[in-house]
C-alpha cells in the first residue's frame, strides 16, 4: 500500500524515536541511516521507515499514538537524565510503560498533570502555540493582588523583554497571607506562570497544573499514571488547529 511521502524527521517523530529537533541532531551525528547509508539531512523524503536504522537498529513502523496522564510530584525533573544525579520523572514511571516522551515540561518544583506520549508528532502538535491547546494551573502565592490586576493579564504582559500572551487569571480564595489563583493560558513559555505572578509582586509557593487541553488531572493520585482512551485521543486530534 503506497503512503504519502513525508520528511523522515516527521515519520521518526511519529514512531516515537525522539522529538523532531532531537532527530535532526541525531541525523547531524550520522546516527540514522537508510539501507546502511547515513543520512545527511532531516528533509529527506520517504514513504515508509522500511530500511531505516537508528544506531544500526531497524525502526518499526509507527504504531497508533498513545497518550498518558501522569500526576507529577514536586521534586522531579522533566528530563530523561540529569548530570547532577537529581531524580527525574523516569525514575518514578512504571517499568511496564512503553517508551514515552513528555508533552512540554513542568519545573522541578511544579506538580500536577504531565502528559506523556509515544508519538513525537503528537507531542509537537500539543506544544505548538498555534494549535492553541489550553493549560490550566492553580497557584498558591504569598502577597497581595487584586482581581483587577489579574484581569489585566488577559491583554498579555512584557517582562524583561519577553512577551507573554494572554492569561485568564482569577482569584480563587485567600487563606491567611496566601492567595490561591486559577490561571488558563495557551502559550506555555518557560516558567511563564511563576514569572508573571512574580512580576505582580507575588511569591509562588506551590504550582499545580490541573489540565492540559481537555484532559484534567482530576483525582489521579500523586505519582500515578493512566492512559487516555484511544477514542478520546482521536476525537481530540480532530479538533487541533493545523
Residues serving a catalytic function are 107
Cβ neighbors of 225 (< 8 A, separation 6 or more) are: 68, 69, 70, 71, 93, 94, 97, 116
DSSP assignments along 27-82, one per residue: HHTT-EEETTEEP--TT-EESS-TTEEETTEEPPPPPPP-EEEEEEPTT-BSSS--
Q: Which residue has the cell 531524580?
A: 87
String of b and e for 178-215 (b: at least 16 CB within 10 Å)? ebbbbbebbbbeeebbbbbbeebebebeebbbbbbbeb
Bridge partner list, 69? 115, 226
Nearest to 94 by CA among 229, 223, 216: 223
Residues forming a β-bridge with 158: 163
Amino acid at each position: 500500500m503506497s503512503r504519502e511521502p513525508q520528511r523522515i524527521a516527521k515519520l521518526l517523530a511519529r514512531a516515537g524515536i525522539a522529538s523532531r529537533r532531537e532527530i535532526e541532531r541525531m541525523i547531524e551525528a550520522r546516527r540514522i541511516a537508510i539501507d546502511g547509508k547515513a543520512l545527511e539531512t532531516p528533509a529527506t523524503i520517504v514513504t515508509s521507515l522500511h530500511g531505516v536504522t537508528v544506531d544500526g537498529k531497524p525502526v518499526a513502523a509507527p504504531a497508533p499514538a498513545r497518550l498518558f496522564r501522569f500526576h507529577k510530584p514536586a521534586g522531579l525533573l522533566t528530563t530523561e537524565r540529569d548530570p547532577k544525579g537529581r531524580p527525574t520523572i523516569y525514575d518514578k514511571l512504571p517499568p511496564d510503560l512503553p517508551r514515552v516522551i513528555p508533552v512540554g515540561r513542568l519545573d522541578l518544583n511544579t506538580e500536577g498533570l504531565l502528559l506523556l506520549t509515544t508519538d513525537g508528532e503528537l507531542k509537537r502538535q500539543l506544544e505548538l502555540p498555534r494549535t492553541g491547546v489550553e493549560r490550566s494551573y492553580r497557584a498558591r502565592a504569598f502577597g497581595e493582588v487584586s482581581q483587577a490586576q489579574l484581569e489585566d493579564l488577559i491583554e498579555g504582559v512584557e517582562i524583561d523583554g519577553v512577551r507573554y500572551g494572554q492569561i485568564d487569571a482569577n482569584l480563587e480564595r485567600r487563606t491567611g497571607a496566601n492567595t490561591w489563583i486559577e490561571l488558563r493560558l495557551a502559550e506555555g513559555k518557560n516558567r511563564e506562570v511563576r514569572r508573571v505572578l512574580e512580576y505582580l509582586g507575588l511569591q509562588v509557593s506551590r504550582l499545580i497544573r490541573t489540565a492540559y487541553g481537555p484532559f484534567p488531572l482530576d483525582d489521579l493520585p500523586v505519582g500515578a499514571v493512566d492512559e487516555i482512551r484511544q477514542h478520546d485521543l482521536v476525537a481530540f486530534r480532530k479538533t487541533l488547529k493545523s
